[in-house]
Amino acid sequence: MRVGVWATIAGAAAGAALFLVAQPAIPDPQAPIDGFAPAHVAAQHEVEQRIASTISTRRLEANHRFLTAEPHVAGSLRDRTLAEWTRDQWIAAGLDSVEIVEHRVLLPYPHDASVEMIAPASVWHAQLREHPDAPLAFHAYGASGDVTGSVVTAGIGAPADFDRLAASGVDLHGKIVLVRYPANYSYRGYVVYLAQQRGAAAVLMYASHSDDAPDAAIQRGGVGFDFIEPGDPPPAARPTIISLPISTRDARVILDAMHGGDVTLRVRVNNDEATRPIWTVIGRINGAAYPDQWVIAGNHRDAWMYGGVDPSSGSTALMELARTLGSLVRNGARPKRTILLASWDAEEYAMTSSTEWTEQHELELREHAVAYLNVDAAVSGSTFFARAVPSLAHLVASTAGVDDSAIETRIGAGSDYTAFLNFAGVPIVDMRFQGPYPVYHSAYDTHGWVTRIDPGFARHAQLTRIWATAATRLANADVLPLDHVRYAHRIAGFLVEVERRWGAPLRVASGALARFDAAASRHGDAAAAALADGNAGALELINRALMEVEPSFIDAAGLDGRPWYRHLLYAPAFSYQPEVLPGLSDAVESRDPDRVAEAERRLAAALDRAAACLKVFTTFPGSRAS
Ligand SMILES: [Zn+2]
């Protein structure tokens, strides 16, 4: 899990306020469900009741204990064992088919590393591991090298910190920059990127912990520039300067020595540059009515260490999701659409296996994908948080029992939904229960930690229920619950923000947006009519049109300077903060009117493509036929 801290804090505040009023209630078996014909509502309520009664907290806890029994970094023997276990359990659960897909990717492990004080003292070495048996902590995709230099602190490593150093005349060339994380979620690769740009020779990072975490904890993690391109990294997506994560305890020794004057360190990093296999497990439940329409749910399996919260709280939920869906099938409630389950690998490196798999299946996804529902770290607290494209916000909110406004619709990057949304144009949801998480990516993120934050695994059960309910609503709906009127309104809000920065109306984009809004609205009316009539032929065309909207936002040429990111409404900023209307926004930032006109033209073309998909149906002559 790698998430921008800013979005997380904003989301937590919104979620905390609204989740309090939302205790799961016994659903009224007559209550309407979005997208379901009156004749099919009772059957879906029965599916949802069966989901609630099948999920077992005892099994969630037992599987979590097994998943976290040993460290299982991507590409390791234990990672492979857990992939095979996942496959075998899914087969036993009754999935129609399960396969393990292997990708061979650049996957460096640390060979050795050291941080040694040269001056003023010359007898001190940093520990670089929590305890003697823990593996060496390192930064995935960090450079190797041997640097001796004086230490400069740079706050939390934000652009403002580096600007402040520059303003006070500090030259970072040849220096070792010591940075404290602002919280547990900021993307460390951006800090390395900034330090590298300013000429630093090395970066050391430590987390500032609450009293809850041992000060020996070390936050491992990736530093690849996957805001340029995730997955098996091209050279441009790798740092050229060395970096290491260190513990608060070791940082304190360095900071104490700095009180007495200059401190010189020697930092050595030697990561192997090995290519290793990683394993994606893909399970499939064939849809009874529309097998070529896929609802996809996924979670990554690889962990920096034991992976108590990240990702095994999500992996045990995925396992329970598989058992629950398998049990529905065995009891005659096979979903109408196909459901695919994915256990991803090497997410912690660069969202690698989901990126490789999505690239490999790009054309099929464009044709078949309905939505991708991601869960990474499922439970680190008790506050429900979800991000989703605006078209799916209501589905998630109604399933979780929260207000629509609690769903975050600004989407950056940071977990396995990235390739689905930003590369393939698949509508996404990402959700969890969150809270303070000081053991993030350390050896202390264990089964024991998780049993403290979710005793009895009730939150895990709740998250699994929300996940399974959302998946089956998407899989069984007569009209897919994709609300493009809401999407259009959200884009209008984004456009106002960009216009404010530009200082003038962007009429080409807003004209196209009005056409998309009108087409979505007419399509919604036609869908409601077809639902009331039970017109199966019309419903099929309506759903086909709904599925074609999100891929319309993909521009094959990609964003300027990072062509892998191809979605024109969403991209991560380099900090991992969400950037909305990224192409247009970057152009406005450049203050170049020609660039702005070109970006506006591309955005308008995407919106017109989306409108055209929806128009295909509204002109269908038989939409009111019986
Ligand atoms: Zn994770």
Three-class secondary structure assignment of 458-512: HHHHHHHHHHHHHHHHHHHCCCCCCCHHHHHHHHHHHHHHHHHHHCCCCHHHHHH
Ligand 1 centre and the CA of 347: distance in Å?
Answer: 7
Q: Give the list of residues 6+ apart from residue 233 with CB closer than 8 angstroms, or none.
A: 106, 141, 224, 225, 226, 350
C-alpha 5 to ligand 1 mean position (Å): 15
| 10 residue type, one letter | A
CA 167 to ligand 1 centroid distance, Å: 37
Q: How far away, in angstroms, is 626 Cα from ligand 1 center?
A: 49
Write down the pLDDT at residue 209. Answer: 67
Cα(312) to ligand 1 centroid in Å equals: 8
Instruction: Give 97-150 pLDDT, tens digit per residue.
Output: 999 999 999 999 999 999 999 989 778 999 999 999 899 999 999 999 999 999
Say if pTM beats, i.e. exceeds, 0.85: yes
Please report the pLDDT score of residue 121 as a whole number: 79
pLDDT value, residue 421: 98
Element (H, E) at 89: helix 77-93
How far apart CA 306 and CA 412 sit, in angstroms, is 27
Cα–Cα distance for residue pair 191/205, rounded to 1 Å = 9
Contacts of 513 (CB under 8 A, 6+ apart): 488, 491, 492, 495, 607
What stretches of 312-457 show up as alpha helix (H) in DSSP? 312-330, 347-350, 352-360, 362-368, 390-400, 417-418, 447-453
Cβ contact 281:237 at 8 Å: no
Tell me which residue of 164, 254, 152 sits closest to 203, measured CA to CA: 152
Start-end ranges of CATH 1.20.930.40 in the chain? 484-618
Within the chain, all domains assigned CATH 3.40.630.10 are found at 5-28+74-106+276-476
The pLDDT score that the predictor gives to residue 624 is: 44
Q: Which of 216, 204, 155 is nearest to 175 (CA)?
A: 204
- Residues around ligand 1, an ion, CB closer than 5 A: 1, 310-311, 376
- Half-sphere exposure at residue 501, Cβ-oriented, CA atoms within 13 angstroms: 16
Sheet (strand 264-271) strand order: 110-119, 264-271, 145-153, 176-181, 202-207, 242-246
Please give the distance of CA 465 from its chain centroid, rounded to a whole number: 20
Tell me how far apart the alpha carbons of residues 68 and 81 are, in angstroms, rounded to a whole number: 12
- The count of other CB atoms within 10 Å of the CB of residue 399 is 26
Enumerate residues 6+ apart whose C-beta is below 8 A from 568. Answer: 553, 554, 555, 581, 582, 583, 584, 602, 603, 606
Centroid of ligand 1 to alpha carbon of 442 (angstroms): 12
- pLDDT, residue 12, reads 39
Can you give the pLDDT at residue 387? 97
| Count of helix runs (H) and strand runs (E) in the chain | 20, 17
The CA 15 to ligand 1 mean position distance, Å, reads: 20
Instruction: Fill in the amino acid letter for 288.
Output: A
Residue type, position 315, single letter: S
CA of 1 from ligand 1 middle (Å) equals 3
- Ligand 1 centroid–CA 304 distance in Å is 9
CA–centroid distance, 301 to ligand 1, in Å, is 8
Specify whether the CB–CB gap between 333 and 473 falls below 8 A. Answer: no
Q: How far is the CA of 559 from the centre of ligand 1 (A)?
A: 26
Is residue 279 within 8 Å of residue 302, measured between CB atoms? no
Task: Identify the architecture of domain 110-273 in CATH.
Answer: 3-Layer(bba) Sandwich (3.50)
Q: Among candidates 179, 144, 177, which has minimal Cα distance to 265?
A: 177
> For residue 528, what are the contacts with CB-CB under 8 A and spacing of at least 6?
none
Q: Are 480 and 546 in contact (CB under 8 A)?
A: yes
Task: Report pLDDT for 210.
Answer: 65
Ligand 1 centroid to residue 69 C-alpha, Å: 17
H or E element at residue 579: strand 578-580
Quote the pLDDT of residue 583: 96
Spell out, as residue ranges, where the chain has pLDDT lower than 70. 1-29, 182-186, 209-211, 616-626
612 CA to middle of ligand 1, Å? 38
- Collapsed DSSP state (helix, strand, coil) of residue 451: helix
> How much distance in Å is there from the Cα of 263 to the middle of ligand 1?
35
CA of 416 to the centre of ligand 1 (A): 9
- Å from CA of 363 to ligand 1 middle: 27
The CA 378 to ligand 1 mean position distance, Å, reads 9
Going from the Cα of 555 to the center of ligand 1, the distance in angstroms, rounded, reads 28
The label of the residue with tokens 């950037």 reads 579
Question: Of 242, 570, 244, 208, which Cα lies nearest the Cα of 414?
Answer: 570
Q: What is the Å distance from ligand 1's center to 415 Cα?
A: 7
CATH superfamily of domain region 484-618: Transferrin receptor-like, dimerisation domain (1.20.930.40)
Q: Where are the alpha helices (DSSP H) in 188-311?
A: 188-197, 248-259
- Whole-number Å distance, alpha carbon 287 to ligand 1 midpoint, is 29
Q: Which long-range contacts (CB under 8 A, 24 or more apart) does 532-539 make?
A: 532/37, 533/624, 533/625, 533/626, 534/37, 534/39, 535/622, 535/623, 535/624, 535/625, 535/626, 537/622, 538/617, 538/620, 538/622, 538/623, 538/625, 539/478, 539/479
What is the Å distance from ligand 1's center to 503 Cα? 40
Tell me which CATH code domain 5-28+74-106+276-476 carries.
3.40.630.10
Q: Give distance in angstroms: CA of 310 to centre of ligand 1.
A: 5
Entry field: residues in the chain:
626
CA–centroid distance, 418 to ligand 1, in Å, is: 13
Which class for 144: exposed (0-12), middle (13-18), buried (19 or more C-beta within 10 A)?
A: middle
Among the listed residues 204, 202, 210, 216, the one whose alpha carbon sits nearest the alpha carbon of residue 248: 216
| Helix, coil or strand: residue 585 | helix
By the 8 A CB rule, do 588 and 18 touch?
Answer: no
Instruction: Give the whole-angstrom CA distance, residue 440 versus residue 213.
Output: 10
pLDDT (0 to 100) of residue 56:
97
Distance (angstroms) between ligand 1 centre and the Cα of 141 equals 17
